[in-house]
């Protein structure tokens, strides 16, 4: 709904730190808003990686080792934050939500690839 706060350009390895829906990301409080912003940015990171993976056959430069490491870190935080915000009741449920985020990123890439043909 607020693309100017979420759709800024950025790299996966930067964690989409330029998304500032709640506040500038260099602030450390209130803690719940910091964690909620991290959750949103981590979801975008995971979805972006899944999106880019659909294009690696033609553009292998889209994801590098640093990006993939950041994706793994994002997934770890999502497991914690999904439970903190009661979006998941266990690590297993949180991992299922992460899979859904990945599937959505992949589906978006597939839709775009189909439209460009």
**What domain count does the chain have?**
1
43 lies in some domain: yes
Q: Does 93 have pLDDT greater than 70?
A: yes
- Residue scoring higher pLDDT (6 or 59): 59
Contacts of 57 (CB under 8 A, 6+ apart): none
Contacts of 35 (CB under 8 A, 6+ apart): 81, 84, 85
16 lies in some domain: no
Can you tell me the distance from the alpha carbon of 101 to that of 44, in angstroms, rounded to the nearest whole number? 8
% of the chain at pLDDT higher than 90: 53
80 lies in some domain: yes
Model confidence pTM above 0.75: yes
19 lies in some domain: no
Per-residue pLDDT tens for 6-56?
666 666 777 666 666 665 556 666 788 888 888 988 999 999 999 999 998
Domain containing 93 equals 28-116
52 lies in some domain: yes
32 lies in some domain: yes
18 lies in some domain: no
């Amino acid at each position: 709904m607020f693309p100017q706060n979420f759709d800024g350009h950025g790299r996966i390895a930067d964690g989409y730190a330029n998304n500032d829906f709640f506040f500038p990301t260099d602030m450390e409080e209130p803690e719940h808003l910091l964690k909620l912003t991290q959750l949103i940015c981590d979801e975008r990171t995971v979805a972006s990686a899944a999106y880019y993976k659909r294009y690696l056959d033609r553009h292998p430069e889209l994801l590098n080792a640093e990006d993939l490491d950041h994706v793994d870190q994002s997934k770890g935080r999502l497991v914690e934050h999904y439970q903190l915000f009661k979006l998941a009741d266990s690590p297993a449920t949180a991992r299922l939500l992460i899979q859904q985020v990945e599937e959505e990123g992949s589906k978006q890439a597939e839709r775009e690839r189909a439209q460009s043909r």
